[in-house]
Amino acid sequence: MFGKPPPKPIRLIAEEASDLPPISALVQDAALRFGDMAYDRAGRHFTLRMNRFCHEAGGRQPLRAPSVLRISGVDKVQVRGLDARNTKQILSLLDISVEPLEAPAAVLILRFAGEGTRDIRIETECVDVLLLDLAAPHRAKSTPNHT
Protein backbone atom coordinates (compact mmCIF):
# COMPACT_ATOMS: atom_id res chain seq x y z
CA MET A 1 0.00 0.00 0.00
CA PHE A 2 3.04 2.24 -0.34
CA GLY A 3 2.03 5.54 -1.92
CA LYS A 4 -1.66 4.78 -1.56
CA PRO A 5 -3.64 6.94 0.89
CA PRO A 6 -5.37 5.09 3.75
CA PRO A 7 -9.11 4.59 3.29
CA LYS A 8 -11.26 7.37 4.69
CA PRO A 9 -13.51 6.50 7.63
CA ILE A 10 -17.16 5.90 6.73
CA ARG A 11 -19.64 8.56 7.89
CA LEU A 12 -23.15 8.05 6.55
CA ILE A 13 -26.59 9.24 7.58
CA ALA A 14 -29.93 7.73 6.55
CA GLU A 15 -32.97 9.98 6.90
CA GLU A 16 -35.41 7.94 4.84
CA ALA A 17 -35.87 4.30 3.88
CA SER A 18 -34.18 4.74 0.50
CA ASP A 19 -30.97 5.87 2.28
CA LEU A 20 -30.62 2.56 4.20
CA PRO A 21 -29.42 0.05 1.54
CA PRO A 22 -25.85 1.45 1.38
CA ILE A 23 -25.60 1.38 5.19
CA SER A 24 -27.02 -2.15 5.27
CA ALA A 25 -24.41 -3.26 2.72
CA LEU A 26 -21.58 -1.66 4.72
CA VAL A 27 -22.57 -3.34 8.00
CA GLN A 28 -23.06 -6.79 6.46
CA ASP A 29 -20.94 -9.30 8.41
CA ALA A 30 -20.20 -6.85 11.23
CA ALA A 31 -19.04 -8.73 14.34
CA LEU A 32 -20.24 -7.73 17.80
CA ARG A 33 -21.35 -9.10 21.15
CA PHE A 34 -24.84 -8.74 22.50
CA GLY A 35 -23.36 -6.54 25.25
CA ASP A 36 -22.11 -4.12 22.56
CA MET A 37 -25.71 -2.99 21.99
CA ALA A 38 -27.51 -0.47 24.16
CA TYR A 39 -30.98 1.04 24.25
CA ASP A 40 -31.12 4.46 25.90
CA ARG A 41 -34.84 4.66 26.62
CA ALA A 42 -34.66 8.24 27.96
CA GLY A 43 -32.54 9.49 25.04
CA ARG A 44 -34.48 7.30 22.56
CA HIS A 45 -31.31 5.94 20.92
CA PHE A 46 -30.28 2.39 20.07
CA THR A 47 -26.53 1.98 19.58
CA LEU A 48 -24.37 -0.89 18.32
CA ARG A 49 -20.57 -0.94 18.64
CA MET A 50 -19.14 -3.36 16.10
CA ASN A 51 -16.18 -4.42 14.02
CA ARG A 52 -17.44 -3.74 10.51
CA PHE A 53 -16.10 -6.00 7.75
CA CYS A 54 -14.80 -3.66 5.04
CA HIS A 55 -16.33 -5.18 1.90
CA GLU A 56 -15.64 -1.90 0.10
CA ALA A 57 -11.85 -2.31 0.55
CA GLY A 58 -11.67 -5.16 -1.98
CA GLY A 59 -8.08 -6.39 -2.18
CA ARG A 60 -6.59 -9.58 -0.85
CA GLN A 61 -6.17 -8.52 2.79
CA PRO A 62 -9.48 -8.64 4.71
CA LEU A 63 -10.07 -5.58 6.90
CA ARG A 64 -12.37 -4.64 9.78
CA ALA A 65 -13.09 -1.16 11.10
CA PRO A 66 -14.33 -0.36 14.61
CA SER A 67 -17.66 1.35 14.00
CA VAL A 68 -20.85 2.51 15.63
CA LEU A 69 -24.39 2.38 14.29
CA ARG A 70 -26.82 4.72 16.05
CA ILE A 71 -30.56 4.73 15.52
CA SER A 72 -32.41 7.75 16.90
CA GLY A 73 -36.06 8.47 17.63
CA VAL A 74 -36.63 4.96 19.00
CA ASP A 75 -40.05 4.21 20.46
CA LYS A 76 -39.79 0.44 21.05
CA VAL A 77 -37.23 -2.40 20.81
CA GLN A 78 -38.09 -6.11 20.46
CA VAL A 79 -35.45 -8.85 20.57
CA ARG A 80 -36.30 -12.18 18.93
CA GLY A 81 -34.21 -15.37 18.98
CA LEU A 82 -31.30 -13.84 20.92
CA ASP A 83 -30.48 -14.38 24.60
CA ALA A 84 -30.38 -10.88 26.12
CA ARG A 85 -28.85 -12.30 29.32
CA ASN A 86 -25.80 -13.61 27.43
CA THR A 87 -23.95 -10.32 26.89
CA LYS A 88 -20.84 -12.15 25.60
CA GLN A 89 -22.86 -13.88 22.82
CA ILE A 90 -21.01 -13.26 19.54
CA LEU A 91 -23.20 -12.04 16.70
CA SER A 92 -22.80 -11.38 13.00
CA LEU A 93 -25.09 -8.70 11.57
CA LEU A 94 -26.49 -9.72 8.18
CA ASP A 95 -28.55 -6.72 7.15
CA ILE A 96 -30.89 -3.91 8.07
CA SER A 97 -34.33 -3.71 6.49
CA VAL A 98 -37.27 -1.32 6.84
CA GLU A 99 -40.98 -1.89 7.29
CA PRO A 100 -42.89 1.36 6.83
CA LEU A 101 -45.53 2.36 9.36
CA GLU A 102 -47.67 5.47 9.18
CA ALA A 103 -45.24 7.96 7.58
CA PRO A 104 -42.68 8.94 8.66
CA ALA A 105 -42.58 6.15 11.29
CA ALA A 106 -40.87 2.85 10.47
CA VAL A 107 -39.66 -0.42 11.93
CA LEU A 108 -35.97 -1.10 11.37
CA ILE A 109 -35.07 -4.79 11.48
CA LEU A 110 -31.51 -5.82 12.30
CA ARG A 111 -31.12 -9.46 11.23
CA PHE A 112 -28.34 -11.66 12.62
CA ALA A 113 -26.75 -14.89 11.35
CA GLY A 114 -27.78 -18.19 12.91
CA GLU A 115 -30.57 -20.73 13.06
CA GLY A 116 -34.15 -19.49 13.10
CA THR A 117 -35.34 -15.92 13.50
CA ARG A 118 -32.61 -13.84 15.13
CA ASP A 119 -33.40 -10.18 14.89
CA ILE A 120 -34.02 -6.93 16.66
CA ARG A 121 -37.07 -4.91 15.64
CA ILE A 122 -36.76 -1.19 16.36
CA GLU A 123 -39.83 1.03 16.04
CA THR A 124 -38.86 4.60 15.24
CA GLU A 125 -40.73 7.87 14.80
CA CYS A 126 -38.76 8.30 11.54
CA VAL A 127 -35.66 6.88 9.85
CA ASP A 128 -32.66 8.48 11.55
CA VAL A 129 -29.55 6.27 11.33
CA LEU A 130 -25.85 7.15 11.62
CA LEU A 131 -22.98 4.84 10.65
CA LEU A 132 -19.58 6.06 11.78
CA ASP A 133 -16.16 4.41 11.63
CA LEU A 134 -14.29 5.16 14.86
CA ALA A 135 -10.78 4.36 13.59
CA ALA A 136 -8.87 3.17 10.56
CA PRO A 137 -9.46 -0.42 9.44
CA HIS A 138 -7.20 -3.17 10.79
CA ARG A 139 -6.43 -6.63 9.44
CA ALA A 140 -9.21 -9.13 9.93
CA LYS A 141 -8.44 -12.64 11.14
CA SER A 142 -10.82 -14.20 8.62
CA THR A 143 -13.19 -13.52 5.75
CA PRO A 144 -16.95 -14.10 6.15
CA ASN A 145 -18.18 -17.28 4.48
CA HIS A 146 -21.76 -17.36 3.21
CA THR A 147 -22.02 -20.95 2.00
β-strand pairing of 37-40 with 30-33: unpaired
Position 38 in a domain: yes
Position 144 in a domain: no
Mind listing the pLDDT tens digit of every residue in the chain (147 residues)? 455 566 678 999 999 999 999 999 999 999 999 999 999 999 999 999 999 999 887 777 889 999 999 999 999 999 999 999 999 999 999 999 999 999 999 999 999 999 889 999 999 999 999 999 999 888 888 778 754
Residue 108 belongs to domain spanning? 11-57+64-139
* Its pTM surpasses 0.85: yes
Position 96 in a domain: yes
Position 33 in a domain: yes
Position 147 in a domain: no
The total number of structural domains that make up the chain: 1
Position 2 in a domain: no
Alpha carbon 5 to chain centroid distance? 26
Position 19 in a domain: yes
Position 3 in a domain: no
Q: How many residues does the chain have?
A: 147
Residue 126 contacts residue 73 (beta carbons within 8 Å): yes
